[in-house]
Amino acid sequence: MRKISATIKDVAKYTGLSIATISKYINGGNVLDKNRKKIEEAIKVLDFRVNELARGLKTNRTMTVGVLIPSLKNIFFTSIISNVENILLKHGYSTIVCDYRESSNLEKEKLNFLVNKMVDGIIVVPHGGDVSHIQDVRDKNIPIVFIDRMIKEIDCDVVLSDNLNAAYEAVEQLIIRGHRRIGIIAGPKDVYTTKERVKGYIRVHEDHDVNVDESLIKYGDYDIKSGYNILQKFIEMDSPPTSIFVTNYEMTLGAIMAINENDIKIPDQMSLVGFDNIQMAKVVKPSLSIVVQPIEQIGETAANILLKRLKNDYEGFPSTNRLKTEIMIKDSVGTIRS
Amino acid sequence: MRKISATIKDVAKYTGLSIATISKYINGGNVLDKNRKKIEEAIKVLDFRVNELARGLKTNRTMTVGVLIPSLKNIFFTSIISNVENILLKHGYSTIVCDYRESSNLEKEKLNFLVNKMVDGIIVVPHGGDVSHIQDVRDKNIPIVFIDRMIKEIDCDVVLSDNLNAAYEAVEQLIIRGHRRIGIIAGPKDVYTTKERVKGYIRVHEDHDVNVDESLIKYGDYDIKSGYNILQKFIEMDSPPTSIFVTNYEMTLGAIMAINENDIKIPDQMSLVGFDNIQMAKVVKPSLSIVVQPIEQIGETAANILLKRLKNDYEGFPSTNRLKTEIMIKDSVGTIRS
DNA sequence: TTAAAGGAGCTAAACGTTTCGCGTTAGGAG
DNA sequence: CTCCTAACGCGAAACGTTTAGCTCCTTTAA
């Protein structure tokens, strides 16, 4: 059986002091120097560690934060978590990570699970659609920070990319280079990021007096397959677009697969701007132009806001942190001579 | 402040029963039907949830499992975790995920952190090198399952790919196609997987009576940069290899970058076999031949073994689970006419 | 010399469960 | 009608902490 470790009681016995004094020492209180030495010795000798359960029971805090993302196989999200986890850990918090595999039901279930685990706070990439279960959590006064997507219905701190401008700038680069028929492979129609990116796409057309052809706006699922299928459809159009803007990483992969299979020459036959993952951009040939989200910064910001809320500092609540993206134009974008 | 939720006491009061009876009900004991109904009603009305801290304090279990991997940005590991997490959750366990960013010190620190968090079990991709801190955890009788890498010094359940045969088969495909100078981009010299893969590389040479040129075995860091650098070095050799076998995903990326930059024609000038990530394999052009590890299965196996050990079933301990890999030969491998 | 002030330590209650051992009850058998 | 046997319910202790409020002692200033 598991060896039971020393308790505060053992330390008290060893040192001849009372439990209260040991507790005081542990929590940074003042004790006499000779006692401090004795306690430290005892802790070392007995290999004493605070029982976080007992502590949590008293303090009503688990020093645990739940992180809920759509998929652990999505490097965009796991990279964010990597930062979140490291920052939280520095403040003594551990991170329970769950993914909900893009299922709204699972999201609900896992959120509930996290609440049962009595996490002190939650960082979540909300799925959208029905959000009542998130509201339920808010009602329990558990701090929540949204990442990547906003839920208008719920007052909450949120950290995300400036998706509108990201799309704006990406498409603008194409317009500048003479493209007039620009296809966009967007995400699911009801997801926040999709709407923002499409908004940017439309606005830049308007600002440059380019007509928006609705048939060039196609909605996918943010997965590889839909990127593939939609690109295929674009190719089969009577007058296909001269360039494509793909709005997330997985669909970018799918689009490239379709391009490769159809032996389409980039950028001569078609220009391409993708999304996320610099490494990928460098690996494909010709090198891919992409929109880059500030992944590190998103994680950092989210973690810090949550830490602030955990300290009961609700200054600026609810804050919306819209972080700037970058655009990298590489060989996959060509110029149209008109 | 956080709303304080109903306790077992409140349920007792509501139902007029004693605390002990409620507890009994919660834990699946028998209660009279009318009482059961009342309790269920009370739980619903009061929104009662078991306080896991209090429970854990009594039972000495946290229903929490720690997972420690080298990097959360490595999709190979996060995919495994995705499975692990889902299986464990079905059994009521939550998963605390940490990465140690390839640093042995951080590994130690985070392992310690997990122990302090009183996890019931640990799944770890060990870094290798000094392993005394892992032994310390074992000595506390906390079940540990190793993933991906074996530590000979420690008796432990381990789940990994059959790396030796993976390399054997990959290189064999090259030999069959007439290649005689096959470069291998291996991982760090002291990592278990590296050794196994190099062993396979050497053995297949011997079995086919092909001479092993030591200068064709180069050791990297399992990161993108070293894949890039080593491929560069191969190119600059007086008589460069006709084919390259890269032994993990990140280095495969790096290698392809170098190939693209040097405008090397695949497979005419050089054949390439990479590692992991089917999606990548399909996206690059020409389509990449790769070794595929049974990612799903690794996670599943590890989770199940850990669950078994958590139930104190030590049948077959320590078990070594070596799972079969697959090889996909695509366009990046060509035949040498001799 | 004495009083005030402040530091350090102590006692004891409390957090929300589980669990042991005992008391109560219902219902069937005789 | 009585007795016995399960089944069910209960009281109380225990898990390892934190913390409020108290006491005691030392120090300092008048």
What would the two tokens of residue B218 be? 């180069």
Q: Do domains A61-159+295-323 and A163-293 have the same CATH topology?
A: yes
pLDDT, tens only, A4-26: 689 999 999 999 999 999 999 99
Chain B residues closer than 8 Å to A73 by CB: 75, 78-79, 82
Share of chain A above pLDDT 90, in %: 83
pLDDT for residue B257: 87
Task: Point out the residue among B56, B97, B141 whose CB comes nearest to the CB of A95.
Answer: B97
Q: Strands B271-275 and B289-292: what pairing?
A: parallel
**Residues B202-216: what's their mean pLDDT?**
97
Nucleotides of D under 7 A from a protein CB: 7-21
For residue range A184-242, list pLDDT tens digits in order. 999 999 889 999 999 999 999 999 999 999 999 999 998 889 999 999 999 999 999 99
Mean pLDDT to the nearest integer, B76-101: 94
Whether B68 contacts chain A with CB within 8 A: no
Test B51 with A118 for CB contact under 8 angstroms: yes
Beta bridge partners of B275: B291
pLDDT digits (tens, 9 = 90+) for A52-65: 999 999 999 999 99
Average pLDDT over residues B2-22: 88
- The CA distance from B35 to A153, in Å, is 40
Contacts with B119 from chain A: Cβ below 8 Å: none
A118 CB contact with strand C at below 7 Å: no
Bridge partner list, B160: B322
CATH architecture, domain A163-293: 3-Layer(aba) Sandwich (3.40)
As a whole number of angstroms, the distance between CA A146 and CA A129 comes to: 15
Burial status of residue B133 (CB atoms within 10 A of its CB: 0-12, 13-18, 19 or more): middle
CA of A18, C1' of D23: distance in angstroms: 14
- The 10s digit of each residue's pLDDT in A64-97 is 999 999 999 888 999 999 999 999 999 999 999 9
Query: Would the pLDDT of B26 be above 60?
Result: yes
State the DSSP code for A284. S
Residue A338: pLDDT band with limits 50, 70, 90: low
Residue B2, pLDDT score: 55
Q: Which residues contact A121 (CB under 8 A, 6 or more apart)?
A: A65, A66, A142, A143, A144, A145, A306, A309, A310
CA at B26, C1' at D5: how many angstroms apart? Answer: 26
pLDDT of residue A74: 86
Between chains, do B97 and A81 touch, taking CB under 8 Å as contact? yes
Q: Indicate yes or no: CB of B72 within 8 angstroms of CB of A95.
A: no
> Domain limits of chain B?
8-50, 62-160+295-323, 163-293
Phi, psi values for residue B42, rounded to 5°: -60, -45
Preceding amide of A286 cis, omega within 30:
yes
- Distance between CA B280 and CA A327 in Å, rounded? 22
User: Considering CB atoms only, which of A2, A94, A256 is closest to B113?
Assistant: A94
- Is residue B6 less than 8 Å (CB to CB) from chain A? no
**Burial of A35 from C-beta contacts in 10 A (0-12 / 13-18 / 19+):** middle
**Which of B4, B57, B117 shows the shortest C-beta gap to A54?**
B57
Please give the average per-residue pLDDT across A295-314, as a whole number.
96
pLDDT, tens digit, for every residue of B118-177?
Answer: 999 999 999 887 889 999 999 999 999 999 999 989 999 999 999 999 999 999 999 999
> Taken in order A4, A6, A10, A12, is the CA torsion positive or negative?
negative
| Helix or strand holding residue B106 (H, E) | helix B104-116
Q: Which positions ≥6 away from A22 have C-beta within 8 Å? A: A8, A11, A12, A15, A39
Which residues of chain B (126-145) touch nucleic strand C at CB < 7 A?
A: none
| Backbone torsion region of residue A60, taken as left when φ is above 0, otherwise alpha when ψ lies between -120 and 50, otherwise beta | left
Strand C close to A338 by CB, under 7 A: no
The fold of A61-159+295-323 is Rossmann fold (3.40.50)
What is B62-160+295-323's CATH topology?
Rossmann fold (3.40.50)
Closest to A122 in 3D by CA, of B144, A112, A131, A130? A112
pLDDT tens-digit readout, A137-190: 999 899 999 999 999 899 999 999 999 999 999 999 999 999 999 999 999 998
The better pLDDT of the pair B113, A129 is held by B113
Q: How many residues appear in chain B?
A: 338
The nucleotide whose C1' lies nearest the CA of A16 is C9
Question: Going by DSSP bridges, is the β-strand pair B243-246/B271-275 parallel, antiparallel, or unpaired?
Answer: parallel
